[in-house]
Amino acid sequence: MSNRTHISHLESEFSEFKKKLLVMASHAESIMDTAVRSVIERDTSLANDAEAADSIIDRLEMELDDLGIKILSQAPLARDLRMITSGMKIAKDLERVGDESTTIARQARVMAEAPNSQTPERIPEMAKMVSKMLSQSLSAFVSGNTQSAKAVIKQDKKVDALNKEVRSVSVQAITENKLTADSGLNHIAIARCLERIGDHAKNIARDVVYLFEAKDIRHPKLQSNS
């Protein structure tokens, strides 16, 4: 194979990698939206749809891993090397988003069978915030807008605070016999899943900064001490 043919083949695989990653991102956003709607609308069919869609994300992650390793073995250019390594990390976070969304969908089915269990107001608020974080981090990846990615990272503390609030309110309601233990634990589990999705959105945003600025901002305290 000539050098020109090798480069052309590598560029084709690189393009395929980026396309698969964007498809995976679209599916991750969709499954999360469906899972959240299944909770708010108490719709078991939506919950089933969300859980069934998770296998698509799992398959895409495996395909991206295989393709990424194949590209890395061909000594890509330095600018593409960072894209592949960052892309594989983003794919892992997207796979986790699918897993957490599946857990939310399973909890939604339980809630649908408990008609007296009302969804806490903070959960839709959390879901809206986390959905925006995920969408914004993925848009930043596509556009290369690192300032937008950094704004996502700052939102994470608000999601953490809402998660703690849902847990505190649920525990208090259980203690005061205003809520069954099963329902309270269900609410806590959903909020925890949303908080984790927020973490994955934050991870993606950090990878965007690394990709386009070549800066690892995962541990600011270590950087300040260096």
pTM of the model: 0.90
Residues of the chain with pLDDT under 70: 1-7, 75-76, 115-117, 216-226
- Please state the domain count of the chain: 1
The reply to whether 226 falls in a domain is: no
Q: What is the pLDDT of residues 63-76, one digit of tens each?
A: 999 999 998 888 66
The reply to whether 44 falls in a domain is: yes
Parent domain of 152: 3-221
Sign of CA dihedral 209, 213, 218, 220: negative
Max distance between CA atoms of the chain, in angstroms, equals 75
**What is the CATH classification number for the domain harbouring 128?**
1.20.58.220
Other Cβ atoms within 10 Å of 124 Cβ, number: 13
Nearest to 159 by CA among 189, 119, 105, 202: 202
What is the Rg, in whole angstroms, of the alpha carbon atoms belonging to the chain? Answer: 20
The Cα 185–Cα 26 span in angstroms is 30
